Amino acid sequence: MIVAEPSSEKDFELYYDLRWQILRKPWGQPRGSEKDELEDKSIHAMVCNENGIPIGVGRAHFNSKDEGQIRFMAVDEKWQGKGIGGMILTYLEEKIKAKDAKFIVLNARDLAIKFYEKHGYEIVKEAHTLFDVIPHYKMKKEIKTLSV
């Protein structure tokens, strides 16, 4: 399996559908809530199964010249624990690193903290609570800790 960037309208349709299915639908959020105003300025990544259907997705954008941010990481439940999230995270980190950013931030759901810690991120502080039920924590990783 490889990480690729969605390129066609159909790719993006499937990409956004997985984001919605995993990150918004379980909390009764409408379609469209899986997107924000930075979609056109972001780096999108996905891993697909043998049928070309995304099984994992993620996105990166820049908050400043020095700060990249990873958002909307989602892996189909059947594929969790098989390295898909790590592949996407590494891909996005490398894209951010290539633009000479100094660090990467993200807001991790409480259940994802161990995943990000395993990849070198550290908790900076408590962040928001999404949909009044999902605690998030701001995490950060210095670029110098990225593997080359």
Ordered structural domains, the chain, with CATH: 3-145 (3.40.630.30)
Query: Which amino acid is it at 39?
Result: E
pLDDT of residue 136: 75
Q: What is the mean pLDDT of each run of 10 residues along the chain (148 residues)?
A: 94 97 93 96 96 96 96 95 96 95 92 93 80 78 69
Q: Where are the beta strands (DSSP E) in 29-121?
A: 43-48, 54-62, 67-75, 103-109
Q: Does the predicted model carry a pTM greater than 0.95?
A: no
pLDDT of residue 7: 94
Residues 121 and 108 sit within 8 Å (Cβ to Cβ): yes
pLDDT of residue 102: 95
